[in-house]
Amino acid sequence: MGIIKPVKPVKFFCGLTFQPQIDIARLLTEVEKRFDVIDLTSDTYDFDAFTDYYRPEMGDGLRKLFIAFRTLRPMEELVELKLRSNQFEAEYMKEGSRTFNLDPGYLNLAKVVLATTKDYSHRLYLGKGIYGDLHLVFRAGNYQPQPWTYPDYKQPLAAEFFLQLREIYRDQLQFYLKDLHKNT
pLDDT digits (tens, 9 = 90+) for 66-83: 999 999 999 999 999 999
Given a contact cutoff of 8 angstroms between Cβ atoms, the answer to whether 66 and 161 are in contact is yes
Percent of residues, the chain, with pLDDT higher than 70? 98
- pTM score of the predicted model: 0.95
pLDDT for the residue numbered 108: 98
pLDDT for the residue numbered 179: 75
DSSP 8-state code for residue 117? S
Question: 145 lies in a domain?
Answer: yes
Question: 5 lies in a domain?
Answer: no
Question: 171 lies in a domain?
Answer: yes
Question: 22 lies in a domain?
Answer: yes
Question: 3 lies in a domain?
Answer: no
pLDDT for the residue numbered 184: 56
Question: 1 lies in a domain?
Answer: no
Domain range for 103 is 10-182
Question: 94 lies in a domain?
Answer: yes
148 has a pLDDT exceeding 60:
yes
Question: 141 lies in a domain?
Answer: yes
For residues 24 and 178, the model is more confident at: 24
Reference 114, options 87, 139, 146; nearest CA is 146
Domain count, the chain: 1
Rounded distance, CA 140 to CA 24, Å?
A: 35
20 has a pLDDT exceeding 70:
yes
